[in-house]
Structure formats: structure tokens, C-alpha cells
Structure 1
Amino acid sequence: MTTTVRLDNVEHAALKLRRGHGPHFGEAVNQVAIFASEFQDVQREYPILFARVSDDQVQPVAILGFDREENLFLDGGRWDAAYIPALYRRGPFQVGFSDGEAVVNIDLAHPRIAAEGEDGDPVFKPHGGDAPALNAALSALRTLSAGAAAAETLSSLFTELGLIEEVKLEVRISEHSTIDFDGYLAVTAEKIAALDGEALARLNAAGLLDVAIFAASSLGTMQRLIARKQRKLAAAA
């Protein structure tokens, strides 16, 4: 039986969302898919790399950790960053379609759904209207929708213009410990600088020139991510 239904302000008037962050919300991952519409925010906090889906398709991802199921931004029920990727901000909500119209659906089996009587953030205000928790999720859904519309163009144009290249990183955690971090692609400042005027114009016309620049700029956050890993290891020693 499906647990995803159309959100209804009468039927779901008492619905609440659990607060906080952690593995129980599916957030113990070392990467998360992101979209062009959020690159400007993502690049300030996370390295942006690309995972190859097929020969001509790539998926941008924000790197959260180096080991499997390692999210270095999770800290005692908090997500320690100024920006959380949209896929995790949307909570149990999804965009659906009914008679050709976009609607908001909700997965009632999602771990964010609070049990009856449990404390949480209300989805709707007591006397009607969207509560802040729902408004935040709707903002994330708008980000995802805008990004999904540009995803195919980003993938094909970045690939065609040779903007993305394989990266192999040897991450030095300590004097005697390194992690081989490979299997990803990246946009670098050198690749952007090597583009001719026509290629730059095509990127700009597609609204993706700044996106490429954000991706290249994000690589500077890798050292901060390494520092998080070092602090985690030091705390466990």
C-alpha cells in the first residue's frame, strides 16, 4: 500500500515533523545529489564533484565525508553548516502531478513524520495556513524543481565542452594516514580559463557559466572537510 498521498490541510492539519538531524533520517551518507539552482549556496560549504551516471550523463554531488556512511557535518543532532542541500531540506514532501497540475505530496512513512502526541514542528498553523516548517520544505521543492529542469543541459553541455575531468585525490589525514578519494569528476578553474569565447557564450546563454564557476570555487572547501575529518579522528583517539 502506498504511503505517499496528496498533502491536505484538513486531513493533515495535526501533522508534525520531527526536528534535528542524524542517521535515523537517512543522513549518514558521504555525498548527496545537488542541483544547479543551489550551487551558489552549496559551494560555500561543500566540495562539488560529479559522479558519472553513464557515458554522457553526470550527476553533481556535494561531498559530506570520505568514508562510506560518513557525514562529517552531523554533530549531536545538528547539521553543522549554514546551508543544507535541498534533498534533505524537503523532508517527507515531493512534487506530484494531478490532472496536469503540480501538487505537493507527502510520504506518511517518512522518518520525519512525528507520531501522534510526539513533539515536533507543525506542518500547518492552528487556524489554517502553512507553518514555517512547510514553507521551508516548499522552498526546497522549488529549488529541486528548478534544478531538475536544468539537469540534462548541465550534464550534456559540461561534457561536450570538456569542462569536467577525472580527479584522483590523496587526502592526507595525518602524517601517517592518507585516504585515496577517486572515482569523481570536477570542474576546475583551469578548465574554465581554457574555454574559448564561443564556449563561454554557450554556457552563459544556458545560465550555466556561474554554475561552472561555483563548482570550481567549491574545491577550496576540501581543506575544511579534511579538517573536520581530522577533528573527528582526534576526538575518537
Structure 2
Amino acid sequence: MKLVQLSRTEHGHLRINPALALSVAANVHLVPLTLSEIRTVASQFPVFLAKDGETGQFYPCALMGLEPHENLYWTGSALDADHIPLNLLRLPFFIGGADPAQAAICLDEHSPGVDANGPCAILEPDGSDTGYITTIHGILDRLAAGKAPTRGFVERVVGLGLARETKLDVRFDNGTGAVLNGLYAIDETALGRQVAAVTDFDDVMVLAAMALSLAHVGGLVRRKNRRIEADAQWLGAAA
């Protein structure tokens, strides 16, 4: 990865292939979420809290694989999902700078999405922003604006003791299995005890969506079984 500040002069001629930019998701099993998108994303993916390895802070995330660096929704050319998290939709662009007031849009110049034959231009021939880059601006604005509300939500959840550490121990049809640690699910029992303390109705809806989203873990197991079977058939055909 090589992040550089986006410049109309230096990068205005570039074209972007969003599908190729998204290909880095093939090796991502956890995708950070903002508060505003949790309810939508939870309709398709399991949503947990996880801890940032550097800061120790909790953050909400969508689970897309049952092992590190595995994305079971990645088909090889696209993400098999109706709702794609903002942190994937923005690729290959990032928010740069530690100070939100001084934040700048950055581009990963090494992204496979930077493609001379890509369908999306950054600038129109007259030098104005294209619809594509305007959409990217909107996504990055939502991510930046969502940091404080998301942090506040997580602090409320943790402060009320509504998150419990969960170990995912799953078995596959071929007899193998996977164990995933470090995830925190919404504790429905604790939520029942503390429901009067959750005074924001939006928080209640998000917590309910997160709790119900755990049913999608079964879908991940089915996807893994299909991938294992496809790999076995491919190896058998190659033998």
C-alpha cells in the first residue's frame, strides 16, 4: 500500500476500477462499521464488537470469514452481498490525517483498482468532479462523521456490560473446523436486565439487529462447506 494525498494535478487523469479495488477484500475477515450502517449490514452479515490490536478500543465489525484473512463472500471477482460496508465501498480511497479538521482524501497508488482501463474517471474533461468521485467524497464524509457517534455507542454498550466475549467453534462437513476468538456479541440476557438504561431507541434497534445477526454465522459455515467442496473437486480434477 502507498497512500498519497489525492491531487487534481497529479491524479486527475487516473481511472479507477471499483471491482478491482474491492479485490483486496478477499483477504479480509473483519470489516469495521459505523453506527449508521450497522442495522443494514446486520441483515446480511454477523456483526460483533472486536478490539483494535493497537489501541485496545472496541469497534463494531462485520464478520465475513471464519479464519483470519478469509472472506467467504468473495467469489473471485466480486463480493456476493447486497449491502457492502462503507469501508469497502470507499476503496481505493482513504481518509488521511490525524486531525479531523485537517483530514484529506488519500489514494492507494498501489491498489489494483488504479487501472488505466477502469470505467470510472476522477475528473471530467472540463476539470470538474465526476459523479464517481463525488460519490466517494460522500462515502468518506459519512465515515468521518460516523466516528464520534460510533465511539459513543460502543462506550455505552461496554459501559452497560452488554457485550460478552464469544468463541466461535465451528465444524465443517469434511471433519475439519475453525476456532475464532476475540469477538464480542451482544449479551441478550444482560440487555434484558439493562433495557431500561438504554434510553436511545436507535440504540435498542441497533442492539437488536446485532443480536439477530448472529444467525448469519450458520450461513458462513455453509459458504465454507461449499468452498471446501469446490476446492476438493478442483484438486481431484487436477490429479
TM-score, reference length from structure 1: 0.82
RMSD: 2.9
Equivalent position to 1:215, from 202, 210, 229: 210
Asked if 1 retains the 8 angstrom alpha-carbon contact of 2:22 and 2:91, the reply is no
Given residue 123 of structure 2, which amino acid in structure 1 is its aligned partner? F
Q: 2:231 is matched with which residue?
A: 236
Gaps of 5+ in 2: 233-239
Q: Would the alpha carbon gap of residues 49 and 193 (structure 1) be closer, same or farther in structure 2, given more than 3 Å must change?
A: same
Q: How do 1:59-78 and structure 2 match up within 5 A? A: 59-78=59-78
Name the SS of the counterpart of 2:198 in structure 1: helix
Q: Would the alpha carbon gap of residues 217 and 139 (structure 1) be closer, same or farther in structure 2, given more than 3 Å must change?
A: farther
Q: How do 1:1-237 and structure 2 match up within 5 A? A: 3-8=3-8, 12-21=11-20, 25=24, 27-53=26-52, 57-95=57-95, 104-107=104-107, 109-115=109-115, 117-174=116-173, 176-197=175-196, 199-201=197-199, 203-204=200-201, 207-237=202-232
> Greater strand percent: which structure?
1
1:188 Cα offset (Å): 3.9
Q: Which piece of structure 1 moves more, 208-217 or 65-74?
A: 208-217
C-alpha distance in 1, partners of 2:145/2:100? 18
C-alpha distance in 1, partners of 2:20/2:67? 19
Q: 2:235 is matched with which residue?
A: none
C-alpha distance in 2, partners of 1:220/1:233? 21
Q: Which piece of structure 1 moves more, 123-132 or 19-28?
A: 19-28
Moved over 4 A (4+): 21-24, 99-104
C-alpha distance in 2, partners of 1:32/1:180? 18
Q: Would the alpha carbon gap of residues 111 and 193 (structure 1) be closer, same or farther in structure 2, given more than 3 Å must change?
A: same
TM-score, reference length from structure 2: 0.81
Count residues in correspondence.
229
Gaps of 5+ in 1: none
Asked if 1 retains the 8 angstrom alpha-carbon contact of 2:22 and 2:88, the reply is no
C-alpha distance in 2, partners of 1:94/1:152? 19
**For residues 59-111 of structure 1, what are the alpha-carbon distances to aligned partners after superposition, in whole Å with 9 as ceiling and x for unaligned?**
212111112211111112111101111111112333457x9856652325240
C-alpha distance in 2, partners of 1:103/1:7? 14
Name the SS of the counterpart of 2:27 in structure 1: coil
C-alpha distance in 2, partners of 1:211/1:150? 13
Asked if 2 retains the 8 angstrom alpha-carbon contact of 1:64 and 1:73, the reply is yes
Q: Which piece of structure 1 moves more, 159-168 or 143-152?
A: 143-152
C-alpha distance in 2, partners of 1:68/1:141? 26
1:16 Cα offset (Å): 0.9
